[in-house]
Amino acid sequence: MEQINSGGCIYLFAGFQPGDTITTDDANQNLDAWAIRTDWKHEQVSVRGKPLTLSGHRGSRVHDLEQASDQIRQHELAFSKLLSHVISLDALPDAMQSLLSSNSEIRGRMPRRVVIDHAAPRQTLEPYEETPLRHLYEATRKPKKDISKGNIFRDIGFDGERSMLGWVLPPPWAAVRKEIEAVVDLGFVDSAEFIIWVGTGSWSFALEALQHVVVPRSTGATTFLVLNSLDPAALAGVLRRIEGRLSRVVCVGISQSGSTLETTMLMDTLRGCFEQAKLDHHEHFLWLTDIGGPSKIHVTGEVTIRSSTTTTHDWSKTRMVPLTVNNHADINALFCSPHSMATLLPLFILLGKDRERMQTVFEQYVSLRPHTAEKMLQDMQSVAFALFETIWAVFDKDLGSAADKLAIQLVEQGLGSKRSDFNPRLEVSTTPTTRAGSDAATTLDFSRRPGSTRPAAKLMLTMYGLSIFVAAMAYHRGINFVTHPNVDFYKRRAKQLAQAKNAVSIQSTVEDVCTATAAYVQQAQPKLRRVNLLYYCHEWFYDGRRF
């Protein structure tokens, strides 16, 4: 009780037995803990000169303790103003002894929120901010049934019965090298003058960021072109770049599920160009997707692509390689960028196919991950307890604005529009600025890295740090951060429209799009105070403004 603030309240739940007493400043008074615990009453006491309140709950049992724990977990931010410690009473003696020890990290400091849990390492006191990370590690690469019910990631880290937490553990370098060598052996990498990467969302945003931070050594390096939308102007621009040189072009489709409508349509369109030029598509097309037959939990991307009835062309004989290292399916595009072949393969090519440079970058990333996670947990605590609408992120100057779209999608899709009282927005800059008021507590600083850190490793660490931040925030807010209902609805609706017998092609001018968007914003209920437009197509201008 010495650790509780003056004026604090100690709420007694299950764990006390008849005859248990509590010693206060009055040496002649030992309070009957059992009587307080089993009756609805409040007792004012003094401990070491601090006035405290002891409260009890009539009839509380183990079930009441579990219910209280659930309430505290589900309403984390509300309780954070009231609770300084959360302690399981079966561990109370050891916890008190630890708190009173001369080498305690808590003694003599402002009270910290801690958890005493038998599942914690060595059953010792654990700083509260570290709990999300421990639970995240415990839930990774496990079936839902094998994760303890007290670990909220069993609910918020799954898409149905399918875990989406594989991004937490980095693959070993030996596995990364093996996957890259397998692709190199196919002959695609060495023969390509141009590689067209076809993918949407985080896959394409990560590619664009890599192109910015990694400057090819030689002037004759392979040219990367990225297609991530059905905008005709974007497709026309790519086709102009490769005109007359199709024989030196390789097209790589990126789709974990194998059913991403934009990706399959663009790959069909590109393949038509090669067939018109009488080129064998087997020598120019490659898919990065989940490999293997169907499982009880999901159908792999390979099965979907090879058996698809919605694509124009037959892809059953096309070469396919795992999208993720070791073909782990428990990773999605939003979080796995540093661990996917959609990032590692292009990085290897941009580094001049230099295996030593590639290993240096990857091992730098892996070695700095623990420090990055620890820093994010500290920042998350300050952000979690602030009333805010905007999160400010300061990126390393080597990244510039390259990772903006990747970061915005990660934070806003992972956390946004899922709870009416919580809809964060991310603002990114490369210049630290002094912020006043609540903004001072909502800044994530990614700009401090060791001077020897390679730009590509900085990019990978930034995405990992943001992933940890999103997971920890979701932990405290009870948000499923690995799925999004609007994204799922879009995918289902797009598939329905593509399969419709009387599908109608609707084309809109730039003016039509701007007018419709402005009308929607003006009529939206409740009123929108801010609208963030995430660039996701070919650049275009309207009324002298760039969109």
Handedness of CA 82, 86, 89, 91 (dihedral sign): negative
205 near 406, Cβ under 8 Å? yes
284-305 pLDDT tens trace: 999 999 888 666 566 788 888 9
In whole numbers, what is the pLDDT of the chain averaged over residues? Answer: 78
Residue 418 is predicted with a pLDDT of 84
Handedness of CA 162, 165, 169, 172 (dihedral sign): positive
Question: Would you place residue 440 in the very low, low, confident or very high pLDDT band (cuts 50, 70, 90)?
Answer: low
Per-residue b/e over 207-220, b at no fewer than 16 CB within 10 Å? bbbbbbbbeeeeee
Residue 457 is predicted with a pLDDT of 94
Q: Is the pLDDT of residue 356 over 90?
A: yes
173-353: in CATH 3.40.50.10490: yes
CB-count exposure of residue 120 (10 Å: 0-12, 13-18, 19+): middle
Q: Which residue has the higher pLDDT, 527 or 313?
A: 313
Q: Minimum mean pLDDT among 82-96, 209-223, 497-511: which range?
A: 82-96
86-95 pLDDT tens trace: 555 554 555 5
Section 206-225 average pLDDT: 84
85-89, 100-104, 154-158: which has the highest mean pLDDT? 154-158
Question: Would you place residue 544 in the very low, low, confident or very high pLDDT band (cuts 50, 70, 90)?
Answer: very low
Residue 16 backbone phi and psi in degrees, to 5: -90, 150
CA distances from 380 to 18, 26, 343, 352, 409 (A): 42, 42, 27, 38, 18
Residue 194 is predicted with a pLDDT of 95
Domain boundaries, the chain: 9-128, 173-353, 357-477, 504-546
Handedness of CA 273, 275, 277, 282 (dihedral sign): positive
Residue keyed to tokens 């008190």: 96
Please tell me the pTM assigned to this model.
Answer: 0.72
Q: Is the pLDDT of residue 61 over 60?
A: no
Residue 127 is predicted with a pLDDT of 62
368 near 459, Cβ under 8 Å? no
